[in-house]
Amino acid sequence: MSKRARKWVVRAVPGAVLGLALGFAIGWWLWPVQYTNTAPSVLRQDYRDDYIVMVAAAYEVEEDLGQARERLELLDSEEPAALVVELAERLVEAGGSTEDITHLARLAWALGATTSTLVPYLEGPP
């Protein structure tokens, strides 16, 4: 390797390393990306689950099935009711919040989809 090439490498490598380190520091710690107004369909699964629970809770208050259906359709699912039933059953198996499961079961029932696992949560006061 010539003296000129070696000199260039000695300057370029530390410069590249420093540039990458500075770029990561700025992008991850100083000014990280903050998402706002993100569509529910691109949320991580745990946030999608929270969204479905919030739709069910809103349905309990508003009793507007059309609005609940529209909100669930934002998840880009073929059958929004299946999402509600699937989440409710997962919460039952995991020992989740009875209140959340009840809201989900009632929404699933209103959407015309329920299972024998969810029927006990349909009984009792609204």
CA distances from 119 to 19, 76, 89, 124 (A): 60, 27, 11, 11
Measured in whole angstroms, the distance separating CA 113 from the mean position of its chain's CA atoms is: 22
**Are 84 and 115 members of one domain?**
yes
**Are 55 and 106 members of one domain?**
yes
Q: What pLDDT, in 10s, does the model give residues 5-61? A: 788 888 888 889 999 999 888 888 888 888 788 888 888 999 999 999 999 999 999
The pTM score is 0.72
**Are 112 and 54 members of one domain?**
yes
**Are 10 and 53 members of one domain?**
no
**Are 100 and 57 members of one domain?**
yes
**Are 90 and 110 members of one domain?**
yes
Q: Which domain holds residue 63?
A: 40-122
